[in-house]
Structures are given as structure tokens and as C-alpha cells.
Structure 1
């Protein structure tokens, strides 16, 4: 079964692939409902994330309210995953992986850390998950 294209690019993320959710056509990328118009006068919801980025065989576990801006300022090879949460969750992850800490927020990419990251990779691109969280925040 193929996904129906959206009649116009999604008003939230700009993608054009759609999917049916019950009787409603939604953006397949972010989940925004076709026909709903985001109120651009309202501020976008703040979505705090814990991010996992890889540089060589090391992983940085950090947090940000503006991940695009933050990640553009950090040298890395790959964005591995996002986890919804803020400073408390980030600190919990730092404690969880303290034995493999290389310094600061950088950790050795071990099978244990890789397995944790794999549990967070529920969609192929972490930015898709972030877009869905933004869409959900606008509906509330």
C-alpha cells in the first residue's frame, strides 16, 4: 500500500508524503493533520532533548532546547538519537554510563551504550521524532 501524497507541503515541516490515520490525512513525517493551520503568532513549543552524537568512536550525551542550533556548533560525524528530556535525564545518563566516560560529556561507544541508543532509534531519522514532538506540542 502506497502512502498518499499531501495536496500541499505540510504546513509544519514542509514534507509532502502523507498517510491515513483513521479517516484523517496526516503528514507521514511529523504527524501534522492536513487542514490544521499552526498559529505562527504563538511561540513554538519548547521540546527539551537529550542528544547522542558520534564523533569517531566517541559519543557525546548532551541536552538542548534548540538542538539544531546546538548541534551546528559541535563537531560530530553523526546524530545518533534524541531522547525527550532535559538536564535531569542527561545527568541520569551520565551516571548510567560513568564507567565509559572519556571526559566532560563524551563517552566511549561500547556495545552497552550502542544498545541503549538502538532502543531510542524508533524512526530512521532523529529529526523526524523531534518534528513529531513539535507537532504534538502544538496540538496541546
Structure 2
């Protein structure tokens, strides 16, 4: 057992909510393949990841509905940023990699 998963292993799907900043707006979306998804979305900064799928995304959209600008975009307001700061890690990708690794271990 090494530090990195075997390249031949299929990566498990780990759904995450992502919080992206573009100018003065925040996008709350979800993906099972965040590297590909974020590469397709114009953004200035990845703020945070939160583990979860569509159900959690709907809950967060409802939670911050008063800040909704349209679609998955929200105003950069105090409540939303407080939530994002609570999720923040030094490197959101590191959190994602940990979640993927834990899912791989669970498959063994």
C-alpha cells in the first residue's frame, strides 16, 4: 500500500459542492468530477468544497435564496461568506483528494 492510488484503479465518484468567486458573485454548484467542471467555468477563485450532491446543493440554494442573483449565482453577502469560511481549508483540492482516498479505501 503506497501513498498514491494505483493509476489503473477507477477513481470513485465523490460528489462535492463547489463555491467559486467571479468578480463580486459566488457560484454554488455540484459535480462528481470537479476538475473537469471547474475547468469549464469562468471563475477568479475556488473558495471551498463541501462534500455532498444535488440534495445538499438544493439545501444551500434555499439557505442563501435571499442572495440569489439567478441560477446558481449568489451575491457575495455576509451569511454566505461566513458559511464558506467555515468550510475553507488551506487547499480545497487537498480535501477533495482525501475524500477520494477514503472512498478508495472503503472499496477494499
Give structure 2 stretches of 5+ with no counterpart.
none
How well do the aligned residues superpose, as a CA RMSD in angstroms?
A: 1.4
Give structure 1 stretches of 5+ with no counterpart.
1-33
2:19–2:28: 8 Å Cα contact kept in structure 1? Answer: yes
Q: Determine which structure has the larger helix proportion and give its number.
A: 2
> Is 1:115 aligned to 2:82, yes or no?
yes
> So what's the TM-score if we normalise by structure 2?
0.92
Distance in 2, Cα, partners of 1:67 & 1:37: 19
> So what's the TM-score if we normalise by structure 1?
0.72
2:5–2:101: 8 Å Cα contact kept in structure 1? Answer: no
* Count of matched residue pairs: 106
Q: Deviations over 1:90-140 (max 9, x none)?
A: 00000000001000000001011000001101x201001001111111111
Distance in 2, Cα, partners of 1:82 & 1:61: 10
Q: Could you say which residue in structure 1 is the equivalent of 2:94?
A: 128
Larger-Rg structure: 1
Distance in 1, Cα, partners of 2:3 & 2:94: 19
